[in-house]
Amino acid sequence: MWPVVGIVGGGQLARMTYPAALELGVRLSVLAAHPDDSAAQVARDPVVADEKALDDLEAFAKACDVVTFDHEHVAQEHLRALEAAGVPLRPGSDALLYAQDKVEMRARLSALGIPCPSHRIVAGPGGVASFLREHGGQAVLKTARGGYDGKGVWLVDDVTPAEVVAEPFRAGVPVLAEERVAFRREVAAMVARSPHGQAVAYPVVESVQRDGVCAEVIAPAPEMPEERAVEAQRIALTVAAELDVVGILAVEMFETTEGDFLVNELAMRPHNSGHWTIDGAVTSQFENHLRAVLDLPLGEPQARAPYTVMVNILGGDLPEIYPAYRHVMARDPGVKVHWYGKSVRRGRKVGHVTAYGDDLESLRERAWHAAEYIRGDIDE
């Protein structure tokens, strides 16, 4: 019997899982909010339903052997109700909690002795003021839940206007204050882990953020000594095992100027820092996510080339993207273009490009050129 993997959420991550599922012959079912969602466009019979409604989730899960996720926004109470009804969720609700709630995540990682930025829950602007006094006048405020791509994150200091400092508290969820880490760069360590505990670690990557959104990923992170990369992989493998994560886990970290790592964020699903693996690794993150949730042996995570560069295409000025393909493809047949089928809005992640080979500087130039041309920032 060929198993059916259900994915809750119809975004680009679910969409990019389809090619891997086709190759493996695994059947996918996707629950999407709208028939024109990124993954619903490529699904055979997308289930258009409301992931906020337990009835809809239950009906969807009935037709699946295992259920996994395109994002981490399904309510804990629904996850627990599904598990109580016998639905195999991968990852399970106990693990997902730490990808959903930054306060829970910081507490758990700290208890495990995993290095994190120093932090504490603050009750209001007064609490922020004392945190700032203790941390050199700079801090980062984060809402415990509901943030993504830099939303739900505020950089504050001594001169930040009071109304900005008050903003995070309006959501009515706990607010975390963190020291502002003077990091050298941001890196991510990705692992895949299966229910019986097999795990593989991908090469550690550098992720370049612009305005809180991932702009570029370089695999492997340049000039990272082997033993430091192994240390980052060890942290990710420890988190995956201790939190009993099943599927892909991406651990976003700050690398300090001393070469130490502080964990920033966890994602328990395929992640932007792993898009390079489609073209650049022996087994993509999407295939390994499927293998893991089905408890199949995992695939080799090794890179196919010395370097792979992935650049996100964010919505820009050109509403029509397709005409740009001719120029980009003619200029550089080695660049791979991935499009998510989403409508173009300024700043929205609508696709990515990848280039792989030996010469990092030329790969970066080629990938950035393609992304900027498609976006409409340059015209030659």
**Contact set with ligand ADP (CB under 6 A):** 117, 140, 142, 147-150, 152-153, 178, 180-181, 186, 209, 212, 252, 264-265
Of 178 and 279, CB closest to ligand ADP? 178
Task: Give the sign of the dihedral formed by CA 86, CA 87, CA 92, CA 96.
Answer: negative
Of 253 and 303, CB closest to ligand ADP? 253
Distant-in-sequence, close-in-space partners of 128: CB < 8 Å, separation ≥ 6? 122, 139, 141, 156, 165, 177
| Residue 153, φ and ψ in degrees, nearest 5 | -130, 130
Task: Give the sign of the dihedral formed by CA 70, CA 72, CA 75, CA 80.
Answer: positive
Least Å distance, CB 109 to ligand ADP, is: 13
Least Å distance, CB 117 to ligand ADP, is: 4
Residue 156's nearest CA partner among 181, 122, 132 is 132
Residue at token pair 């005409």 = 323
Task: Give the sign of the dihedral formed by CA 109, CA 300, CA 293, CA 72.
Answer: positive
Least Å distance, CB 154 to ligand ADP, is: 9
| Secondary structure tally for the chain: helices H, strands E | 12, 17
| Residue 40, φ and ψ in degrees, nearest 5 | -65, -30
User: CA 175 to CA 163: how far, in whole Å?
Assistant: 15
Of 116 and 328, CB closest to ligand ADP? 116
Of 265 and 279, CB closest to ligand ADP? 265
The type of residue at 334 is G
Residue 202's nearest CA partner among 98, 296, 283 is 283
| Residues in binding site for ATP | 102, 142, 178-181, 186, 264-265
Least Å distance, CB 149 to ligand ADP, is: 5
| Residues in binding site | 102, 142, 178-181, 186, 264-265
Of 101 and 252, CB closest to ligand ADP? 252
Least Å distance, CB 147 to ligand ADP, is: 4
